[in-house]
C-alpha cells in the first residue's frame, strides 16, 4: 500500500474543484494550477524511483484486495508517462498564461485542464479495465469542454465530429468490456490476463481483442484518425498543444497495456493487424503532412505519423522495439507540445496560417526560428536529440524480428517528417522577411519561455538517454514479460 | 414565461415535499440497502425540476438562491476529500469506517464516513442536473 500512487489523480481533481470557487481570482488560479502540476511531477518522480528500487507497487482502494477491488498499479511505464504528462502540461500552462485570454480563464479553463490531467494520469495508473473506461471519460469530458471553449464557428463544427466519434468509441469500449466480462468474469487487468492464459486465447477472445483494438485505435488515432487533424487544429494554441501531446498517447498506452498484458497469446492475428494499421497510418499520415499548406494541419498530421511509428514498436513486439516505443512516446509528448506551440505562435505573430503567406520570420525572431529547427531535427531523429534513441531501438527490434517492410516504412516516414517540417521552415522562417520592423509584433516572454523549456527538455532527454535507460529498460521488461505485472498485482499484500 | 396552471401548481406544492422526503430516505438508506447518493440526488433534483416546471425560473431562483454549479463543485470536493481523508489517516485511499453512537433523539445510530461520500455524490448529481436543465431552458427562451 502506498497512497502516493493516487495523488496524480486526486490532487488535480481537488485543486480543480477548489479553483471553481476561485473563479474571479485569475492570478490565484494560475499559481494554484501550476503548483499542482509541479507537485504532481515531483510525486511521480519520487514514485518512479520507488518503483526502481522496490519493483511495481499497487494501491488497493479501500483495502479491497485484487481481484475484488479497484486498484492503481504503478510500474515504470505508467510512471514515466505520468511524469512526462505532468511536466508537459505545466509548460503548456505557462504558455496559456500569456496567450489564452481572460475570457477563457474566467470560463473555468484551469479547472478543466486539471481535470484533463487527472483523467490522463488515472488512465495511466489504473489496474482495472473498467476504471480505465471511467478515467477515459473524465479525460474526454474535460477535452470536450476545452475543444469548444470559446465557441467560434469552426470550433463547434469540429467539436461535433470530435464528440460524436468519441461517444461512439466509448460505447464500443463499454460493449467490449461487457463481452470480456461475460467471457472471463473479471475486470482486473492482471486477473483477466491470468484467466485468458488459462483458457487460451480462442477465436472468441481474439474477436474481443479486435474490438478493443478498434476502440483504442479510435482514441489513439491509429488508422481511424479521420477526426484528428480537424479537431486538433481548431482550439487555442495551448489547448491544441495539450491535446497533441497527451490525448493520443493515452490511447497508445491502452493499446500497449492490453496487447502486451492481456491479448499476447495469438499475435498472428492481432499484432499483424496492428502492424498493417500502423503501416497504413504512416503512409496516409505522410500524405497528409505533405499535402496541406495550413501549418496547423501539417502539424496535426505529424501527430498521426508519430502514432503509426510508435505502434510499429508494438506490432514488432520484441523487448527492444517496445523500449524504443517507450522512448519515442516520451519524446513525442515533448516534441508535439513544442511543435503545436511553435505553430500557434507563428500564427499569432503573422496572423496567417498558410505557409506560403509567411516568410522570413528568422530576421524578426531568431530564437523562435532556431527552436523550430531544433524540433524539426529532433522529430526526424537526428542525434543527439531525443527522437534518435527511440527510432534506433524500434529499427533494431524490427531487424531482429525480420519485419523489413515495417522497418522501411518507419524510416521513410522519418524522411517525410523531416521534409514536411523543413518545408514549413524554409517557407516561413527563412526567405525574405515580410514583416517590417515597425509592424513587428513583439514576441511575448510568456510564449518563448515555454518553447525554450520544451527545447531544453528535448535536448536533455536526448543527451540523458543513458540516465533514463534504466527506467525504460525496466518498463519494457515489464511489458514484454506479463508475469512480472501479474505477480505484483495478484501476489499477496505488500 | 409564466404558466398559469392552478392544478399543476397546487399539486406540485404538495408533491414536491413527498419527493424531497423520498429523496432523503433513499439517500440515507443507501450503502446497505438499495438507494444511495446517486439515486437520492436524482430524486432530489427531480423535485427542484418539478418546481421549475410548475412555476417559473425566477420564482424558484428567488426562493432557492443557489448557484448550482457551485453545489456540484462542493459535492465533488466533499466526495474526494473523504477519499483524501483516508490518506491522512494512513489507510488505503477511499477506506471507510463506521461506529455506533448513542445520540439523544435517535438512540443508538450507525454513523459512517461513507455517508459523507454519498452526500458529496448527491450534491454533485443535484448540481449537475439542475444546471443542465437550467441552461437548456435558458437557451430555449
Cβ-contact A50, B109 below 8 angstroms: no
**In this model, does residue B8 exceed pLDDT 90?**
no
Which residues in chain A are contacts of B83 at CB distance < 8 A? 6, 10
Domain boundaries, given as residue ranges, for chain B: 6-140
pLDDT value for A406: 92
Is the Cα torsion angle A219, A221, A226, A228 positive or negative in sign? positive
The model's pTM is 0.94
Helix and strand element counts for chain B (H, E): 5, 2
Beta bridge partners of A57: A74
**Cα-Cα-Cα-Cα dihedral sign, residues A149, A153, A158, A159:** positive
Mean pLDDT of chain B: 86
Q: What confidence tens digit (pLDDT) does each residue in A305-351 have?
A: 999 999 999 999 899 999 999 999 999 999 999 999 999 999 998 88
Q: Which of A10, A20, A62 minimises the CB distance to B95? A: A62
The CB density around residue A459, as the number of other CB atoms within 10 Å, is 15
DSSP alpha helix (H) spans, A55-75: none
How far is C-alpha B99 from the chain's CA centre? 24
Domain assignments of chain A as residue spans, ordered by start: 266-463
CB atoms within 10 A of CB A425: 19
Chain B residues whose beta carbon lies within 8 Å of the beta carbon of residue A61 = 92-94
Closest CA to A216 of A155, A273, A266: A273
pLDDT digits (tens, 9 = 90+) for A367-407: 999 999 999 999 998 888 888 999 999 999 999 998 899 99
The residue-averaged pLDDT of A46-75 equals 91
Residue B48 distance to chain A (closest CA, Å) = 23
- Nearest CA to A471 among A37, A177, A55, A153? A55
Residue range A10-56, pLDDT digits in tens: 999 999 999 999 999 999 999 999 999 999 999 999 999 999 999 99
Q: How large is the average pLDDT for residues A188-216? A: 92
Run of H or E including A51 = helix A26-54
- Cβ pair A457, A87 in contact under 8 A: yes
Residue B75 has pLDDT above 90, yes or no: yes
pLDDT at B90: 84
**Contact in structure between A241 and A337 (CB atoms under 8 Å):** yes
Summarised one tens digit per residue, pLDDT across range B25-34 is: 999 887 778 8
The Cα A458–Cα A195 span in angstroms is 41
Percent of chain A with pLDDT over 90: 75
* B97 pLDDT more than 90: no
Mean pLDDT of B115-122: 91
Q: How far apart are CA A238 and CA A89, in angstroms?
A: 9
- Whether A63 and chain B come into contact, CB under 8 Å, resolves to yes
pLDDT tens figures, A443-478: 888 899 999 999 999 999 999 888 899 999 999 999
| Res A1: pLDDT | 67
Residue whose C-alpha cell is 483504442: A216
Q: Which residues in chain A have Cβ-Cβ distances shorter than 8 Å to B90?
A: 3
Spell out which residues of chain A touch residue B87, defining contact as CB-CB under 8 Å. Answer: 3, 6-7
User: Residue A82's CB: how many other CB atoms inside 10 A?
Assistant: 28
Q: Is A165 strand, coil or helix?
A: helix
Smallest Cα distance from B51 to chain A, Å? 27
pLDDT tens for each residue of A279-306: 999 999 999 999 999 999 999 999 999 9
Subunit contact B93:A18, Cβ cutoff 8 A: no
Q: Which residues pair with A128 in a beta bridge?
A: A188
Residue A278 pLDDT greater than 80, yes or no: yes
Nearest-10 crossing angle of helices A76-99, A26-54? 160
For B121, list phi and psi in degrees, rounded to 5. -60, -45
Mean pLDDT of all residues in B98-121: 85
Cα distance between residue A372 and residue A18, in whole Å: 37
pLDDT (tens digit per residue) in A212-240: 999 999 999 998 888 898 889 899 999 99
Chain B: closest CA distance from residue A97 (Å):
24
Distance of CA A290 to CAs A269, A295, A321, A356, A410, Å? 32, 11, 27, 14, 16
pLDDT at B61: 80
> Measured between CB atoms, which of A7, A21, A59 is closest to B92?
A59
Per-residue pLDDT, B141: 44
CA-angle at A298, arms to A294 and A302, nearest 5°: 165
Amino acid A444: pLDDT: 86
Q: What pLDDT shows up at residue A273? A: 92
> Counting runs of H as helices and runs of E as strands, what totals does chain A give?
22, 2
pLDDT band at B140 (very low <50, low <70, confident <90, very high): low
Cβ <8 Å between A17 and B73:
yes
Look up cell 460505447; give the residue.
A171
In the numeric block, which cell numbers belong to residue A206? Answer: 481474439
Dihedral, CA atoms, A344, A350, A356, A357, nearest 10 degrees? Answer: 140
Residue B93: which of A17, A20, A61 has the nearest Cβ?
Answer: A61
Higher pLDDT residue, B107 or A154?
Answer: A154
- Specify the pLDDT at position A494: 47
Looking at residue A101, its pLDDT comes to 87
Average pLDDT, chain A: 92
Task: Examine the pLDDT at A170 and tell me if it is beyond 70.
Answer: yes
* Mean of pLDDT values over A78-88: 96
Give the containing element (helix H, strand E) for A59: strand A57-60
**pLDDT tens digit sequence for A121-157:** 999 999 999 999 999 999 999 999 999 988 889 999 9
State how far residue A81 is from chain B, nearest Cα, in angstroms: 22
Amino acid at each position: 500500500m502506498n497512497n502516493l500512487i493516487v495523488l496524480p489523480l486526486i490532487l488535480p481533481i481537488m485543486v480543480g474543484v477548489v479553483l471553481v470557487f476561485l473563479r474571479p481570482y485569475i492570478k490565484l488560479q494560475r499559481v494554484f494550477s501550476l503548483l499542482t502540476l509541479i507537485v504532481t511531477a515531483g510525486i511521480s518522480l519520487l514514485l518512479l524511483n520507488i518503483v526502481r528500487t522496490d519493483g511495481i507497487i499497487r494501491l488497493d482502494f479501500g483495502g479491497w484486495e485484487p481481484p475484488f477491488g479497484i486498484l492503481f498499479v504503478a510500474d515504470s511505464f505508467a510512471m514515466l508517462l505520468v511524469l512526462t504528462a505532468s511536466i508537459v502540461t505545466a509548460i503548456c500552462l505557462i504558455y496559456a498564461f500569456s496567450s489564452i485570454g481572460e475570457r477563457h480563464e474566467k470560463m473555468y479553463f484551469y479547472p478543466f485542464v486539471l481535470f484533463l490531467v487527472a483523467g490522463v494520469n488515472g488512465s495511466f495508473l489504473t489496474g482495472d479495465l473498467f476504471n480505465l473506461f471511467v478515467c477515459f471519460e473524465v479525460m474526454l469530458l474535460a477535452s470536450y469542454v476545452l475543444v469548444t471553449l470559446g465557441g467560434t464557428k469552426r470550433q463547434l463544427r469540429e467539436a461535433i465530429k470530435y464528440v460524436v466519434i468519441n461517444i461512439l468509441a466509448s460505447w464500443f469500449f463499454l460493449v467490449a468490456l461487457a463481452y470480456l466480462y461475460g467471457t472471463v468474469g473479471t475486470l482486473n487487468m492482471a486477473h483477466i490476463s491470468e484467466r485468458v492464459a488459462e483458457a487460451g486465447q480462442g477465436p472468441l477472445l481474439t474477436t474481443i481483442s479486435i474490438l478493443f483494438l478498434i476502440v483504442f485505435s479510435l482514441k489513439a488515432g491509429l488508422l481511424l484518425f479521420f477526426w484528428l487533424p480537424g479537431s486538433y487544429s481548431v482550439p487555442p494554441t495551448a489547448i491544441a498543444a495539450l491535446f497533441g501531446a497527451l490525448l493520443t498517447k493515452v490511447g497508445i498506452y491502452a493499446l500497449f497495456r492490453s496487447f502486451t498484458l492481456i491479448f499476447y497469446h495469438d499475435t498472428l492475428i492481432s499484432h499483424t493487424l496492428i502492424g498493417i494499421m500502423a503501416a497504413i497510418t504512416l503512409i496516409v499520415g505522410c500524405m497528409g503532412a505533405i499535402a496541406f499548406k495550413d501549418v496547423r494541419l501539417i502539424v496535426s498530421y505529424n501527430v498521426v505519423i508519430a502514432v503509426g511509428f510508435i505502434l510499429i514498436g508494438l506490432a514488432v513486439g520484441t523487448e527492444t522495439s517496445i523500449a524504443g516505443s517507450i522512448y519515442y512516446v516520451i519524446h513525442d509528448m515533448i516534441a508535439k507540445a513544442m511543435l503545436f506551440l511553435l505553430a500557434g505562435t507563428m500564427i499569432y505573430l503573422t496572423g496567417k496560417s498558410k505557409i506560403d503567406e509567411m516568410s522570413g520570420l528568422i530576421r524578426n525572431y531568431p530564437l523562435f526560428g532556431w527552436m523550430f529547427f531544433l524540433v524539426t531535427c529532433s522529430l526526424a531523429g537526428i542525434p543527439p536529440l531525443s527522437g534518435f534513441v527511440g527510432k534506433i531501438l524500434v529499427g533494431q527490434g524490427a531487424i531482429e524480428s525480420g519485419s523489413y517492410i515495417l522497418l522501411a516504412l518507419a524510416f521513410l516516414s522519418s524522411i517525410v517528417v523531416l521534409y514536411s517540417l523543413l518545408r514549413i521552415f524554409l517557407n516561413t522562417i527563412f526567405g525574405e522577411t515580410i514583416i517590417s520592423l515597425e509592424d513587428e509584433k513583439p514576441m511575448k516572454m510568456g510564449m518563448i519561455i515555454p518553447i525554450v523549456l520544451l527545447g531544453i527538455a528535448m535536448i536533455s532527454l536526448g543527451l540523458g538517454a543513458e540516465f533514463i535507460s534504466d527506467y525504460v529498460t525496466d518498463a519494457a521488461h515489464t511489458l514484454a514479460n506479463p508475469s512480472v505485472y501479474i505477480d505484483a498485482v495478484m501476489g499477496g499484500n505488500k | 414565461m409564466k404558466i398559469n396552471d392552478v392544478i399543476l401548481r397546487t399539486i406540485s406544492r404538495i408533491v414536491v415535499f413527498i419527493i424531497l422526503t423520498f429523496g432523503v430516505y433513499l439517500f440515507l438508506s443507501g450503502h446497505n440497502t438499495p438507494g444511495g447518493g446517486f439515486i437520492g440526488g436524482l430524486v432530489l433534483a427531480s423535485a427542484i425540476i418539478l418546481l421549475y416546471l410548475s412555476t417559473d425560473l425566477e420564482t424558484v431562483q428567488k426562493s432557492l438562491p443557489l448557484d448550482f454549479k457551485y453545489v456540484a463543485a462542493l459535492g465533488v470536493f466533499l466526495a474526494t476529500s473523504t477519499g483524501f481523508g483516508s490518506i491522512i489517516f494512513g489507510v488505503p485511499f477511499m477506506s471507510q469506517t463506521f461506529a455506533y453512537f448513542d445520540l439523544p433523539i435517535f438512540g443508538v445510530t450507525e454513523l459512517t464516513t461513507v455517508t459523507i461520500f454519498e452526500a458529496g455524490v448527491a450534491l454533485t448529481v443535484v448540481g449537475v442536473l439542475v444546471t443542465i436543465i437550467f441552461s437548456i431552458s435558458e437557451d430555449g427562451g
